Structure 1
Amino acid sequence: MKRINQILANEDYIKYLSKNKEAEGDRIYCHHDIAHFLDVSRIAYIISLEEKLNVNKEILYAMGLLHDIGRWMEYESGIDHALASKNLAEGILLDCDFSETEIQEILTAIESHRNIKSTSVLGDLLYRADKLSRNCLHCSAIGTCKKFQNKEVPVILY
């Protein structure tokens, strides 16, 4: 997990986490912070083990840690945060010794992580892990959350 720790110590990564925190200071819904990123990473890893997908753990953690780092840009300019995150993640991945092939796989997953029908195994894993990562059971904002607009009942799977 050497490269994952490099991501976590990367100056740009830390700056983007801070920008997300600032942009979501008054947000009553789920935040896009390190806790969410780690939850997504760990759930993606669990699913990959359960389904015997044989995906490298560092790849899963990298996509989980980076998939929402551009959320602040969506608040500021309206750009889709998946695209913003993809663009911001590329430099970090280069700085942290990921290969060109790994970078392209991770960036493709990040860019498509909001689409239920992904064109890649990683994109599908990221989509599912992202949705499953939220602890909605005792959320005080569940009554107005778009995830539960049809009175769905939250459950925990991971």
Structure 2
Amino acid sequence: MERVNQILKHPVFLREQERIRTFEKERIYCGHRSEHLLDVARIGWIMILEEKLTIEKPIFYAAALLHDIGRAIQYETGEAHQLAGIPLARQVLKDCGYEKEEQENILEAVRMHRTYPVNEKNLAGVLYRADKKSRACYCCESEPLCNWSVQKKNLNLQY
């Protein structure tokens, strides 16, 4: 987990987390700060273990930590965060010692985390599912105001 801890301390990651925190200061709905990223990482890791998948922990955690890194850019420019974050994530992964093939797999998962087929058993599929399951709608005060459909909301604890 050494490389994962390097991500958590990387200046670009820290800067973007602070920018997201600033943009979401008044947000009443689910946020995209480090708590969400760690929820995604831990839920996804549970899925990987339960489904006996062969995804390495540092690879999944990197994808989970970086999947929303473009969120502040989206707030500023309107560009989709899953695309806006790719150059930032690439730099962080490179600086933290991820191999080229690992980087490409992680970046593909980041790129696809909003649209990937839910039943896929690969890195992108688990990231997609964990991201959606990380939302605690069952105990959220803003749930009645949320624009997520009832079918999409997590009204029962699963992970």
Q: Same fold (TM over 0.5)?
A: yes
Match of 1:112 in 2: 112
Match of 1:139 in 2: 140
Match of 1:73 in 2: 73
Alpha-carbon deviation of 1:27? 0.7
- Structure 2 gap ranges (5+): none
Q: Contact 2:136–2:154 (CA<8 Å) still a contact in 1?
A: no
Query: Which segment is superposed worse, 144-153 or 53-62?
Result: 144-153
Q: Contact 1:115–1:127 (CA<8 Å) still a contact in 2?
A: yes
SS of the residue 1:137 aligns to: helix
Alpha-carbon deviation of 1:45? 0.8
Q: Which amino acid aligns with 1:84?
A: A
Match of 2:91 in 1: 91
Map 1:12-91; keep pairs closer than 5 Å.
12-91=12-91
TM-score by length of 1: 0.94
**Aligned-pair identity (%):** 42
Deviations 1:99-156 (A, max 9, x none): 0000000000000000042788111111000000111112111112122457967111
Alpha-carbon deviation of 1:21? 0.3
Q: Which amino acid aligns with 1:79?
A: E
Match of 1:100 in 2: 100
Q: Contact 2:7–2:92 (CA<8 Å) still a contact in 1?
A: yes
Match of 2:126 in 1: 125
Q: Contact 1:109–1:120 (CA<8 Å) still a contact in 2?
A: no
Aligned length: 158
Q: Which amino acid aligns with 1:124?
A: G
Whole-angstrom CA distance in 2 between matches of 1:64 and 1:152: 20
Give runs of ≥4 in structure 1 deviating > 6 Å: none
- Structure 1 gap ranges (5+): none
| Alignment RMSD | 1.8
Whole-angstrom CA distance in 2 between matches of 1:36 and 1:151: 17
Q: Which amino acid aligns with 1:19?
A: R
Q: Which amino acid aligns with 1:65?
A: L
Deviations 1:38-78 (A, max 9, x none): 01011111111111111100001000000001111111100
